[in-house]
Amino acid sequence: MKLAFVVDPLDQLKAYKDSSIAMMREAARRGHEVHALEARAMFVRDGSVRSAVRRLAVGDDDHAWHRVLDERDARLADFDLVLMRKDPPFDQEYYYATLLLERAQAEGARVVNDPRALRDWNEKLAILRFPAFAPPTLVASDMARVHAFVDAHGDAILKKLDGMGGTMIFRVAAADPNRNVIVETLTDMGRRTIMAQRYVPEIAQGDKRVLVIGGKPFSHCLARIPRAGETRGNLAAGGTGVARPITARDREIAETVGASLVEAGIAFAGLDVIGDWLTEVNVTSPTCIVEIAEQTGHNAARDLMDALGA
């Protein structure tokens, strides 16, 4: 099979942590052709979605994990599978990329995850589809409503709807002297919609990344433990990743969410679970495959390739 991975620039990918590289390595081990392209390289000519594409030789050396064999322009529909793995932010260019990928689908390309689902499943707002699993949550731009939510719960997490890697996430207590300025900044004085959630103290045991592949939970998750003095477990924010078997509650959440993910055309997702609560549904470029595999020997890239029939 010929697989095309839509990724960030190859020299920016880090083999010691990048799930896209883990997928490429597994595809290469299975004898598939591995190609890479950047979203910005896609273009339309004569009604066909094309891109500058590099064919790669992929190896296990983390310092030189790939070699470019050739580069050419190709129709995306000529590949057996196109995997959209560009990292957020989900900005206007990302939006345009999903539209082009949707056109490639119309030409016969098989795209994972589905481009329309990438637009429809905002990674913060997707939890609203599953209210039974979400902590008490408010979505609003009105500052008075945000303050009322903080007052009602006493301790809350406030975050932008388009943040990533733990950026622009604040823990705000009712008596926090910086509370007003935090709310003003996050909402841009009431002009930007944000999310507020009741603080979940189980974050001290980790913000768990639970992988869902083909609608089914993977056997192990990565608990991202906040460093001392932090409330964010994100690895990008200094958290430490500890792989663990998933719990019965993790499985319950993942199986329920997974059924909806499959319906939407999302083959690979990463759920964020704190304690017993679902806090995010990551569908753009979920990570943690490498860390889980290194600590447990269980490689989610294999399960993903199996689920995709690759």
Active site residue 86: no
- Tell me which of 25, 103, 159, 208 is the catalytic residue: 159
- Tell me which of 86, 124, 179, 208 is the catalytic residue: 124
Active site residue 244: no
Task: Spell out the residues 6+ positions from residue 82 whose beta carbon is closer than 8 angstroms to its own.
Answer: 3, 4, 6, 76, 101, 104, 109, 110, 111, 112
* Preceding peptide of 89 cis, ω within 30°: yes
Nearest residue to 270 via CA among 300, 237, 308: 300
Q: For the chain, report the end-to-end CA distance as a whole number of angstroms.
A: 7
| Farthest CA pair distance, the chain | 61
Long-range contacts at 235-241 (CB < 8 A, ≥ 24 apart): 235/17, 235/287, 235/291, 236/165, 236/166, 236/167, 237/165, 237/166, 237/167, 239/166, 239/207, 241/288, 241/291, 241/295
- Tell me which of 123, 209, 291, 303 is the catalytic residue: 209
**Contact indicator for 169, 239 with CB cutoff of 8 Å:** no
- Tell me which of 54, 160, 198, 232 is the catalytic residue: 232
Active site residue 282: yes
Active site residue 122: no
- Tell me which of 113, 122, 234, 282 is the catalytic residue: 282
Active site residue 159: yes
Nearest residue to 207 via CA among 97, 287, 306, 98: 287
Nearest residue to 268 via CA among 222, 202, 221, 214: 214
**Contact indicator for 49, 82 with CB cutoff of 8 Å:** no
3-state secondary structure of 142: coil
Q: What angle do CA 16, 211, 170 make, to 5 degrees?
A: 80
Active site residue 198: no
Task: Spell out the residues 6+ positions from residue 167 whose beta carbon is closer than 8 angstroms to its own.
Answer: 160, 236, 237
- Tell me which of 26, 114, 250, 280 is the catalytic residue: 280
- Tell me which of 114, 123, 207, 272 is the catalytic residue: 272
* Preceding peptide of 178 cis, ω within 30°: no
What residues are labeled active site? Answer: 124, 159, 209, 224, 232, 272, 280, 282
